[in-house]
């Protein structure tokens, strides 16, 4: 689940660029669908109508129905909201302690840095998905362990980027000059450190959200994540796979939505080389 190899410490990506604009536009559309869709589509995503099982796309069912006659449009809207929400909260829960601890380690050094490095190494020694599975074993199918496990596996990425970059910045001669002139830590942080690490953290945040979306879908697909009838995109694919020959569109819709979510985040993270 590591994404640190995608980040360059030498020069953060800058500029908007066509890729970033495309990704932002795609995410805005998907976020609108996830946010407004469940409100404007007054259909219970769990409501069954066995008489309309695997109904094709029509005026009555805009995206068809699944094998239980549940509206695919309603389930996709709720599934997108779930994926977006969990990915965003997971990213925040990983980024906040990761960045703060990274700044602390770089600023204080000494035993504080050694202790945090040891803790990060211990977390990295355990594969990310394994950590999530260990927590899910205590309460399978619930949001809490899934969210906590993903956050615990991703915070190290933010910590390592922040610590390494901040240490490099603080070793520069102009930082020492600023300190000799009487500028405090707050001024150095806001004027020299944050402008450099900010774009890197934003890029890593997009990668972390994409990782969370794929992880949640994967774990639900193998029946250790969120369980039916929760409208989760990964579990929707697995539920409909036996009916692929009869209704291939219904299987491809949640898979396509996962692809678009991850694609939008990846494009948003690309930027342009300065």
Q: What is the pLDDT of residues 127-171, one digit of tens each?
A: 777 778 777 777 766 777 888 888 888 999 999 999 999 999 888
**Measured over all CA atoms, what is the biggest interatomic distance in the chain, rounded to whole angstroms?**
78
Task: Provide the β-strand partners of residue 65.
Answer: 71
Give which of 216, 95, 82 is closest to 149, Cα–Cα: 216
CATH of 15-40+68-270, picked from 1.10.3720.10, 3.40.120.10, 3.40.718.10, 3.20.20.80, is: 1.10.3720.10
Task: Flag whether pLDDT at 14 surpasses 70.
Answer: no
**pTM to 2 decimals?**
0.84
Name the CA dihedral angle for 105, 111, 117, 119, rounded to a multiple of 10 degrees.
-110
On the CB side of 177, how many CA atoms lie within 13 Å of its CA? 4
Q: What is the pLDDT of residues 190-247, one digit of tens each?
A: 888 999 999 999 999 999 999 999 988 888 887 777 877 888 898 899 999 999 988 8
Q: What is the pLDDT of residues 241-273, one digit of tens each?
A: 999 988 899 999 999 999 999 999 999 887 544
Task: Provide the β-strand partners of residue 272.
Answer: 14
> How many Å apart are CA 164 and CA 169, to the nearest integer?
9
Name the CA dihedral angle for 114, 119, 125, 128, rounded to a multiple of 10 degrees.
-140
pLDDT band at 15 (very low <50, low <70, confident <90, very high): low
**Residue 100 contacts residue 229 (beta carbons within 8 Å):** no
Q: Could you identify the residue written with the tokens 């990295």?
A: 124
């Amino acid at each position: 689940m590591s994404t640190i190899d995608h980040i360059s410490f030498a020069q953060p990506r800058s500029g908007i660029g066509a890729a970033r604009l495309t990704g932002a536009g795609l995410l805005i559309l998907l976020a609108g669908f996830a946010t407004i869709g469940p409100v404007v589509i007054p259909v219970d995503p769990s409501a069954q109508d066995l008489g309309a099982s695997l109904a094709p796309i029509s005026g009555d069912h805009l995206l068809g129905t699944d094998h239980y006659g549940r509206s695919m449009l309603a389930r996709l809207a709720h599934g997108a909201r779930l994926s977006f929400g969990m990915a965003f909260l997971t990213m925040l829960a990983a980024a906040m302690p990761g960045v703060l601890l990274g700044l602390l380690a770089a600023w204080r050094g000494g035993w504080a840095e050694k202790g945090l490095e040891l803790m990060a190494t211990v977390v990295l020694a355990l594969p990310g998905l394994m950590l999530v599975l260990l927590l899910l074993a205590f309460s399978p199918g619930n949001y809490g362990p899934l969210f906590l496990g993903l956050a615990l596996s991703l915070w190290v990425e933010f910590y390592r980027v922040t610590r390494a970059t901040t240490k490099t910045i603080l070793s520069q001669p102009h930082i020492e000059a600023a300190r000799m002139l009487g500028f405090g830590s707050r001024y150095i942080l806001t004027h020299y450190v944050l402008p450099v690490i900010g774009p890197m953290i934003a890029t890593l945040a997009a990668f972390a959200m994409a990782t969370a979306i794929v992880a949640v879908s994967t774990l639900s697909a193998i029946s250790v994540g969120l369980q039916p009838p929760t409208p989760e995109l990964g579990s929707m694919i697995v539920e409909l796979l036996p009916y692929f020959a009869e209704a291939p569109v219904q299987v491809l819709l949640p898979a396509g939505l996962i692809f678009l979510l991850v694609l939008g985040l990846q494009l948003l993270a690309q930027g342009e080389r300065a």
